[in-house]
């Protein structure tokens, strides 16, 4: 979702003031979320609230959100539909269906489900075949990107299924492009931005530089881009700051629910930066029930009292890089101390030779953890960074820690250990 929201917010300044400059200012004092973000929230809430995913609940939610966030640039007929609380669709082929659909792409378990939910999410208002198609195309791109299909597969599928012309370059398209808020006049272009850009920011810049309905094209393009590219942290933080608490909660909750459903985060940036460490850990443990095993989060940025960051070090205690540098800057590791507890961190040296030279230090750590049930230890992927070992080599050293209630292990260590059993 954060991708869609960033696209909307960045594009908002340029919708009626297209930029000729590719290196435009991403955020200006006037940048704000618009209808694209509001309706994206409604769809996310719908997916969470109504397991049956009925039309009626979506209509209610969209009208409630529209009421609660007035004046956000709703299109004419959509504004009437909101205002008069109509319940019938009005055969629109506008890109409103594509701008709000992205949560579907992150929520779906299969491509078929993505297409089906996209159809329902569109046809409450945009029941014109092109309106439905636009939503389905965006949702399919997100799902396929998440599922690891490469761009050539995505391009081929979208061309075959929806008949969009994706063999164009944005630099060429923009020569004659004009404001077009229909699906067929903006969804293919948004997909091309995704296909052409090599980073999240490139996709975003291409979409806004294209011109036209910039907030919506950028919203759609970036909703796909966020499925494969890291979202720039500073930009995401600023945009997240422009939302209100209710919206931020929806994004967090939706991210967690997608994790529970699919074992992956709908939004890596949200998971790493916004969901509190406690929440994330709890969710990971629920998701991994059956392991009965604490799992170390992918990124640890804060610790509560009694939580210990376990990292790979060297005997000299030169904590210059990788997790060691994090331990030093955030969790009290001391320069020159290569082994054991220091602040809220615990060092296990991994740089002194083969795997067998690490074993005694891991044994010593496990013994220490046993003696300190009041502490919870988060073992990071020690030895698998600068030291150059693989989880297959390192994980077996921790077999005695499997099932200890106060030791979290990285997911890929747990996988190795479970396969070895
Ligand atoms: Mg808008």
The model's pLDDT over 90-145, given as tens digits with 9 standing for 90+, comes to: 999 999 999 999 999 999 999 999 999 999 999 999 999 999 999 999 999 999 99
Residue 112, judged by CB atoms within 10 A of its CB (0-12, 13-18, 19+), counts as exposed
Q: State the distance from the centre of ligand 1 to the C-alpha of 255, rounded, in angstroms.
A: 23
Q: State the distance from the centre of ligand 1 to the C-alpha of 240, rounded, in angstroms.
A: 17
Q: State the distance from the centre of ligand 1 to the C-alpha of 34, rounded, in angstroms.
A: 5
Closest CA to 300 of 340, 265, 273: 273
For residue 281, give both structure tokens.
């850990």
Q: State the distance from the centre of ligand 1 to the C-alpha of 215, rounded, in angstroms.
A: 5
What is d(CA 286, CA 77) in angstroms, rounded to the nearest whole number?
A: 44
Closest CA to 348 of 324, 374, 320: 324
Burial track 380-401 (b if 16+ CB lie within 10 A, e otherwise)? bbbbbbebebebebbbebbeeb
Q: State the distance from the centre of ligand 1 to the C-alpha of 38, rounded, in angstroms.
A: 9
Q: State the distance from the centre of ligand 1 to the C-alpha of 219, rounded, in angstroms.
A: 9
Q: State the distance from the centre of ligand 1 to the C-alpha of 311, rounded, in angstroms.
A: 45
Give the containing element (helix H, strand E) for 340.
strand 340-342
The position carrying tokens 């791109």 is 141
Q: State the distance from the centre of ligand 1 to the C-alpha of 387, rounded, in angstroms.
A: 49
Residue 89, judged by CB atoms within 10 A of its CB (0-12, 13-18, 19+), counts as middle
Name the DSSP class of 84. Answer: T
Q: Where do the CATH 1.10.4080.10 domains begin and end in the chain?
A: 2-245
**Whole-prediction pTM:** 0.69
What is d(CA 298, CA 270) in angstroms, rounded to the nearest whole number?
A: 12
Residue 227 half-sphere exposure, CB side, CA atoms within 13 Å? 29
Domain covering 2-245 assigned CATH 3.40.1360.10 in the classification: no
Q: State the distance from the centre of ligand 1 to the C-alpha of 217, rounded, in angstroms.
A: 9
Contact 201/168 with Cβ under 8 angstroms?
no
Summary count for the chain: helices (H), strands (E): 21, 5
Closest CA to 124 of 4, 42, 219, 1: 42
Domain covering 307-420 assigned CATH 3.40.220.10 in the classification: yes
Residue 52, judged by CB atoms within 10 A of its CB (0-12, 13-18, 19+), counts as exposed
Q: State the distance from the centre of ligand 1 to the C-alpha of 248, rounded, in angstroms.
A: 19
Contact 4/102 with Cβ under 8 angstroms?
yes
Contact 194/224 with Cβ under 8 angstroms?
yes
The position carrying tokens 């960045």 is 10
Q: State the distance from the centre of ligand 1 to the C-alpha of 291, rounded, in angstroms.
A: 45
Q: State the distance from the centre of ligand 1 to the C-alpha of 258, rounded, in angstroms.
A: 25
Contact 29/234 with Cβ under 8 angstroms?
no
Secondary structure (3-state) at 117:
helix
Q: State the distance from the centre of ligand 1 to the C-alpha of 35, rounded, in angstroms.
A: 5
Q: State the distance from the centre of ligand 1 to the C-alpha of 109, rounded, in angstroms.
A: 28
pLDDT of residue 277: 46
Q: State the distance from the centre of ligand 1 to the C-alpha of 234, rounded, in angstroms.
A: 23
Closest CA to 191 of 121, 132, 137: 137
Contact 334/313 with Cβ under 8 angstroms?
no
Q: State the distance from the centre of ligand 1 to the C-alpha of 270, rounded, in angstroms.
A: 22
Contact 235/28 with Cβ under 8 angstroms?
no
Per-position pLDDT tens, the chain of length 421: 899 999 999 999 998 888 889 999 999 999 999 999 999 999 999 999 999 999 999 999 999 999 999 999 999 999 999 999 999 999 999 999 999 999 999 999 999 999 999 999 999 999 999 999 999 999 999 999 998 899 999 999 999 999 999 999 999 999 999 999 999 999 999 999 999 999 999 999 999 999 999 999 999 999 999 999 989 888 988 898 899 989 988 998 898 888 778 777 677 777 666 655 444 454 444 444 444 467 787 778 888 889 999 999 999 999 999 999 999 999 999 999 999 999 999 999 999 999 999 999 999 999 999 999 999 999 999 999 889 999 999 999 999 998 788 898 988 898 788 776 5
pLDDT of residue 272: 67
Closest CA to 103 of 143, 137, 67, 73: 143
Q: State the distance from the centre of ligand 1 to the C-alpha of 193, rounded, in angstroms.
A: 18
| φ, ψ of residue 142 in degrees (nearest 5) | -65, -45
Q: State the distance from the centre of ligand 1 to the C-alpha of 180, rounded, in angstroms.
A: 13
Bridge partners, residue 347, by sequence: 311, 340
pLDDT of residue 253: 87
Q: Where do the CATH 3.40.220.10 domains begin and end in the chain?
A: 307-420
Give the containing element (helix H, strand E) for 307.
strand 307-313
Q: State the distance from the centre of ligand 1 to the C-alpha of 370, rounded, in angstroms.
A: 56
Closest CA to 381 of 295, 267, 256, 303: 295
What is d(CA 16, CA 6) in angstroms, rounded to the nearest whole number?
A: 18
Q: Give the sheet arrangement for strand 340-342, strand by strand.
A: 340-342, 345-349, 307-313, 376-379, 407-408
Q: CA dist 167 to 11, 190, 192, Å?
A: 24, 13, 8
| φ, ψ of residue 350 in degrees (nearest 5) | -130, 5
Closest CA to 106 of 281, 250, 290: 250
Q: State the distance from the centre of ligand 1 to the C-alpha of 12, rounded, in angstroms.
A: 7
Secondary structure (3-state) at 101:
coil
């Amino acid at each position: 979702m954060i991708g869609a929201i960033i696209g909307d917010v960045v594009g908002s300044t340029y919708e009626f003031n297209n930029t000729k400059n590719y290196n435009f200012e991403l955020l200006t004092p006037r940048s704000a979320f618009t209808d694209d973000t509001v309706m994206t929230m409604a769809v996310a809430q719908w997916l969470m609230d109504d397991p049956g995913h009925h039309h009626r609940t979506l209509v209610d939610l969209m009208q409630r959100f529209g009421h609660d966030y007035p004046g956000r640039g709703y299109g004419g007929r959509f504004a009437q539909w909101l205002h008069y609380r109509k319940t019938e669709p009005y055969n629109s082929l506008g890109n409103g269906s594509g701008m709000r659909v992205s949560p579907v792409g992150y929520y779906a378990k299969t491509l078929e489900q993505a297409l089906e939910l996209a159809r329902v999410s569109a046809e409450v208002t945009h029941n014109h075949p092109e309106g439905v198609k636009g939503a389905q195309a965006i949702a399919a791109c997100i799902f396929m990107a998440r599922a690891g299909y490469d761009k050539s597969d995505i391009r081929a599928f979208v061309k075959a299924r929806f008949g969009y012309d994706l063999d164009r370059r944005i630099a060429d398209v923009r020569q004659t492009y004009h404001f077009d808020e229909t699906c067929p006049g903006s969804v293919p272009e948004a997909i091309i931005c995704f296909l052409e850009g090599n980073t999240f920011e490139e996709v975003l810049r291409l979409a806004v530089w294209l011109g036209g309905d910039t907030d919506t094209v950028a919203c759609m393009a970036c909703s796909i881009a966020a499925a494969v590219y890291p979202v720039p942290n500073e930009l995401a933080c600023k945009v997240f700051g422009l939302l209100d608490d209710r919206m931020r909660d929806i994004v967090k909750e939706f991210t967690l629910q997608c994790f529970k459903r699919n074992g992956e985060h709908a939004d890596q940036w949200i998971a790493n930066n916004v969901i509190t460490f406690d929440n994330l850990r709890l969710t990971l443990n629920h998701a991994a029930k059956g392991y009965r095993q604490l799992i170390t989060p992918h990124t640890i940025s804060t610790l509560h009292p009694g939580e210990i960051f376990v990292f790979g070090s060297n005997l000299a205690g030169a904590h210059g890089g990788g997790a060691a540098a994090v331990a030093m800057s955030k969790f009290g590791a001391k320069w020159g101390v290569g082994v054991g507890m220091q602040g809220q961190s615990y060092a296990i040296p991994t740089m002194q030779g083969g795997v067998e030279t690490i074993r005694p230090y891991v044994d010593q750590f496990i013994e220490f953890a046993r003696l300190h049930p009041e502490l919870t230890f988060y073992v990071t992927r020690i030895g698998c960074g600068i030291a150059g070992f693989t989880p297959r080599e390192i994980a077996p050293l921790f077999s005695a820690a499997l099932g200890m209630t106060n030791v979290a292990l990285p997911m890929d260590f747990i996988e190795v250990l479970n396969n070895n059993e």
